[in-house]
Amino acid sequence: MASAASKLRTRQLSLFSLFSCARSAVAASAVAVLWSSGAWAERVRLPILAPTSGILALEGASQRDGALLALQHAPKGVRVERLVLDTGSSPQRAVQAFEKAVRGALPVAISAPIFGPEMLAIMPLAKERKVPLVTISGTAKLTELGNPYVFRFFPGDAVVKTAQARYTVEELKRKKIALVYQTTAYGQSGRTHLRANFKKLGATVVMEEGLSPRVKDMTPVLVKLKRSGADVLVLQLHSGPTALIVKQAAGLRLGLPIVAGSAMHQPSTAALLQPSSLKGVCAESGSSPVSGGSDAMRAFATAFQKRFGRAPDAFAAAQYDGVTMVLKAVAGGARTAADVRKALASGRHDGLAMSYKSDGKGNMAHDAVIVCYDGKTRVPAIVKRYRNVDGAL
């Protein structure tokens, strides 16, 4: 009996050994295949830093959610450790969030805040730690400081303000400009580019006014505008003030076309207004997911709506594209922050909104669109595309 049991145990052990060897061989082969294909299942770190509270909470939420959806749609085999940090629309908090994000193993990249002042605060730290920042902030200065770790996936003011000015002058044939801008860094940067572009295009700024985001009543600006003889109103305002001035301009029967900044294309801005108030209103943007344009963009808009319960805007699409380019680099074999930086600096990515390639300064996005509302719905149509715009001042 003992002998039979011993034989059985020996046979079982042999079978187990055989099974173990086979399993190891299969695992080793799988690892080899995965490694060679680049789809390595080790978790990489790609923290998301976004201002989801404070003055830029709305845009920050779009940025965050675009990045989260990109992580959800990561290439097969790429696993990402999820870390989302609120930067509070404050440079100090952005620095704290950055320090937390780089604690431990160095991330392959950081999905960095949309808010320009926050970016300016963390850029030196990113350079020091040698970690790429994937941002959609439009502040022109970010890519003018010679920091090789900044990659901007939303067209900067050099691109979108050129498109905004060209559409106003070349398509609408308006040359007497009323320019209303926000007194924040965002507004000042856009104003500089718009003024330079209008001058280049032979148009005159006949009236301009800087507004604090706290201003509630726009009548004073609109009264001055009427007095100035302007034939178009050009805006560089955040979301709420854009909606306020559009609403009050319609209320006072301004009767002039309005060419707004990218805040106007956001579905949440249009949602504040009656469709009739939007007649004659156009806006620049990097893209307009709600306007469709391609099957991939429509699929993105549907997936975004399903996951977050609201329509995506161009900021979400751009951050999705930026993070997707990083993830594709990882899937393609990039293992470290240095590898990813190299891939971003030298590679090309055909994203949802456009084709991205660095201009050597970290500007990845070079196209802009103009969207216009017909006064019947809150969904704008893309009326003009500007490709490979070089609007450097």
Per rule CB under 8 A, is residue 378 in the interface with another protein? no
**How many Cβ atoms are within 10 Å of 214's Cβ, its own excluded?**
7
**Among 144, 171, 209, 359, contact with another protein (rule: CB under 8 A):** 209
Q: Residue count at the site for another protein (CB under 8 A)?
A: 36
**SS3 call for 179:** strand
Smallest gap from residue 54 Cβ to another protein (A): 7
Per rule CB under 8 A, is residue 60 in the interface with another protein? yes
Per rule CB under 8 A, is residue 220 in the interface with another protein? yes
* 44 φ, ψ (degrees, to nearest 5): -110, 160
Q: Per CB under 8 A, which region of 147-155, 198-206, 235-243, 375-383 contacts another protein?
A: 235-243
Q: Which is nearer to another protein, 75 or 210 (CB)?
A: 210
Per rule CB under 8 A, is residue 55 in the interface with another protein? yes
**SS3 call for 276:** helix
* 89 φ, ψ (degrees, to nearest 5): 55, 35
Smallest gap from residue 247 Cβ to another protein (A): 9
Per rule CB under 8 A, is residue 216 in the interface with another protein? yes
Residue type, position 312, single letter: P
Per rule CB under 8 A, is residue 61 in the interface with another protein? yes
Binding positions for another protein, 309-348, rule CB under 8 A: 310
In the numeric block, the tokens 């009236």 are attached to: 207
**Among 211, 282, 297, 371, contact with another protein (rule: CB under 8 A):** 211
Smallest gap from residue 393 Cβ to another protein (A): 25
Q: Which is nearer to another protein, 253 or 306 (CB)?
A: 253
Q: Per-residue x/- mask for another protein, residues 169 to 198, rule CB under 8 A?
A: --------------x---------------
Per rule CB under 8 A, is residue 224 in the interface with another protein? yes
Would you put residue 38 in left (φ > 0), alpha (ψ -120 to 50) or beta? left
Q: Which is nearer to another protein, 225 or 371 (CB)?
A: 225
Query: Residue 299 has which token pair?
Result: 């699929």
Q: Which is nearer to another protein, 97 or 263 (CB)?
A: 263
**Among 8, 15, 105, 223, contact with another protein (rule: CB under 8 A):** 223
Smallest gap from residue 320 Cβ to another protein (A): 19
Residues near 50 by Cβ (< 8 Å), separated by ≥ 6?
60, 61, 63, 64, 67, 84, 85, 86, 87, 111, 113, 114
Q: Per CB under 8 A, which region of 20-28, 163-171, 216-224, 357-365 contacts another protein?
A: 216-224
Q: Which is nearer to another protein, 241 or 362 (CB)?
A: 241
Smallest gap from residue 280 Cβ to another protein (A): 17
Per rule CB under 8 A, is residue 377 in the interface with another protein? no
DSSP string, 130-157: T--EEE----GGGGGS--TTEEE-S--H
* 46 φ, ψ (degrees, to nearest 5): -145, 75
Give the pairing of strands 110-111 and 133-135.
parallel
Residue type, position 337, single letter: A
Give strand ranges (E) for the chain: 43-45, 48-50, 79-81, 84-86, 110-111, 133-135, 150-152, 176-182, 204-211, 232-236, 258-260, 281-285, 348-350, 355-357, 368-372, 381-386
**SS3 call for 233:** strand
50 forms bridges with which residues in the sheet? 86
Binding positions for another protein, 238-257, rule CB under 8 A: 239-240, 243-244, 251-253
Question: Residues in the site for another protein, rule: CB under 8 A?
Answer: 52-55, 57-58, 60-61, 183, 209-212, 214-217, 219-221, 223-224, 226-227, 239-240, 243-244, 251-253, 268, 271-273, 310
